[in-house]
Every structure is written in structure tokens, then in C-alpha cells.
């Protein structure tokens, strides 16, 4: 039976001074290639909104504030 190991990466969305959503803090393109070269396979992305509603502008209410990326690969031992 295959045994797995798991790795998680959290990516956060940057906000400006009025809490309007901007770009992500990590460009996953390069990191995905590196993780793939190491044998990691992306199995899930969980979007999250972890800021209180009062901290978000009306335009960004309910916006994704971070993502949890889950990877797995077969264990070698």
C-alpha cells in the first residue's frame, strides 16, 4: 500500500490601506514547477476569508483573503 506525505503552502492576498483586495503575495507559477520537480502533486486548494467583515471594504466583502494549497507525494521510506 502506498503511504503519502503532505505539504501545505499558504498564499495571502495583499490589501491596500482601505482593505481593498490586491495581488497575491506569492506567484505560484515558479513554486509549482519547483514542487513538481520534487515529486509533489497538488491535490486541493482551499480558499479562505479570514478577515472580519468590518475590515473589508464593501467592494471586497467576502473576498478570498488566503488560499491553503495541499500537496502530496509517495513516501520513500
- pTM assigned to the model: 0.71
Band the pLDDT of 6: cuts 50, 70, 90.
Answer: very high
Q: What is the pLDDT of residue 49?
A: 79
DSSP 54: G
Q: What is the pLDDT of residue 48?
A: 84
Burial class (CB in 10 A: 0-12, 13-18, 19+), 66: middle
d(C-alpha 72, C-alpha 41), whole Å = 5
* Domain range summary for the chain, segments of one domain joined by +: 4-74
For the chain, state the CA radius of gyration. 16
Q: What is the pLDDT of residue 66?
A: 84
Amino acid at each position: 500500500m502506498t503511504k503519502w506525505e503532505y505539504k501545505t503552502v499558504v498564499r495571502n492576498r495583499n490589501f491596500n490601506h482601505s482593505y481593498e483586495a490586491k495581488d497575491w503575495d506569492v506567484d505560484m507559477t515558479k513554486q509549482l514547477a519547483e514542487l513538481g520537480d520534487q515529486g509533489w502533486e497538488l491535490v486541493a486548494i482551499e480558499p479562505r476569508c479570514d478577515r472580519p467583515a468590518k475590515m473589508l471594504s464593501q467592494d471586497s466583502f467576502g473576498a478570498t483573503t488566503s488560499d491553503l494549497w495541499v500537496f502530496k507525494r509517495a513516501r520513500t521510506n
